[in-house]
């Protein structure tokens, strides 16, 4: 059985982690399959990531840690980080449809996405500390960008588990939904219609912790001359006449 199901619907790439019997826990094979799907599919504007069987991901498959030597663990962390960074910094908009649970590496995968849609009773947490390790795929950095550093510190040090409602209230998830599958697909379809040139530049600015207003102005100057911008501005003017 394939560990990842991928399908291209128009310009939306849907990636489904397919290990329901293991609560969609992540091995390097799963992560590499995500990376390969991003390479092999063409023309997508939005990437929607979800889990099979009503569970997002229980995190890294703990069984792989039993015989992992230090150098191998370092490589495991580095490669996972590269792929999470690729998702976050891609020109495509990424959505995590979080149902059932997202723990450890599963939450780190969700945090690498631009948008997280979550159901109220879903449970999430950076729970690695309970295994004597810590988030190795950029989870501490990314959670610190969403909540204040004091609370990020608390989550990482305690392995605190939040409900979906609490995650939404903390700003970790942007959309609270009773029907995650439907609402995530509706959002994906809406976002796929946004200007590709505009989105690309917005994401370029957001990928940097600090950027100058000079850089912002330069990118604004670039985008205003694109065909998409000209067409959308004219369409708006025609509609308001």
- As a whole number of angstroms, the distance between CA 226 and CA 236 comes to 16
Cα–Cα nearest to 219, from 208, 230, 232, 205:
205
The pair phi, psi for residue 172, each rounded to 5°, is: -75, -40
Instruction: Return the sign of the alpha-carbon dihedral for residues 179, 185, 190, 191.
Output: positive
Give yes or no: 74 in active site. Answer: no
Cα–Cα nearest to 135, from 125, 145, 150:
125
Give yes or no: 33 in active site. Answer: no
Instruction: Return the sign of the alpha-carbon dihedral for residues 202, 43, 109, 96.
Output: positive
Coil/strand/helix, residue 46: strand
- Set 74, 128, 193, 222: catalytic member: 128
Cα–Cα nearest to 185, from 19, 34, 6, 46:
46
**Which residues touch 159 (CB under 8 Å, ≥6 apart)?**
125, 126, 127, 128, 129, 130
Coil/strand/helix, residue 31: helix
What does the angle CA 72 – CA 101 – CA 20 come to, to the nearest 5 degrees? 75
- Set 21, 32, 74, 108: catalytic member: 108
Residues forming the active site: 108, 128
């Amino acid at each position: 059985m394939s560990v990842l199901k991928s399908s291209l619907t128009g310009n939306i790439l849907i990636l489904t982690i397919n290990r329901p019997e293991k609560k969609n826990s992540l091995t390097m094979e799963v992560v590499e399959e995500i990376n390969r799907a991003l390479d092999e599919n063409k023309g997508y504007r939005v990437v929607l990531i979800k889990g099979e069987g009503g569970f997002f991901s229980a995190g890294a498959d703990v069984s792989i840690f039993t015989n992992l030597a230090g150098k191998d663990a370092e490589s495991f962390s580095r490669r996972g980080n590269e792929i999470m960074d690729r998702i976050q910094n891609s020109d495509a908009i990424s959505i995590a449809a979080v149902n059932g649970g997202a723990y450890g590496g599963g939450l780190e995968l969700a945090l690498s996405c631009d948008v997280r849609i979550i159901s109220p009773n879903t449970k999430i947490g950076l729970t690695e500390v309970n295994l004597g390790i810590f988030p190795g795929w950029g989870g501490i950095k990314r959670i610190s960008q969403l909540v204040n550093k004091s609370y990020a510190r608390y989550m990482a040090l305690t392995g605190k588990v939040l409900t979906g409602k609490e995650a939404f209230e903390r700003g970790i998830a942007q959309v609270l939904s009773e029907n995650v599958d439907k609402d995530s697909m509706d959002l994906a379809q809406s976002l796929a219609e946004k200007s590709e040139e505009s989105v690309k530049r917005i994401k370029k600015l957001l990928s940097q912790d600090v950027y100058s207003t000079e850089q912002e102005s330069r990118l604004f100057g670039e985008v205003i001359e694109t065909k998409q911008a000209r067409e959308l501005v004219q369409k708006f003017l025609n509609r308001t006449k």
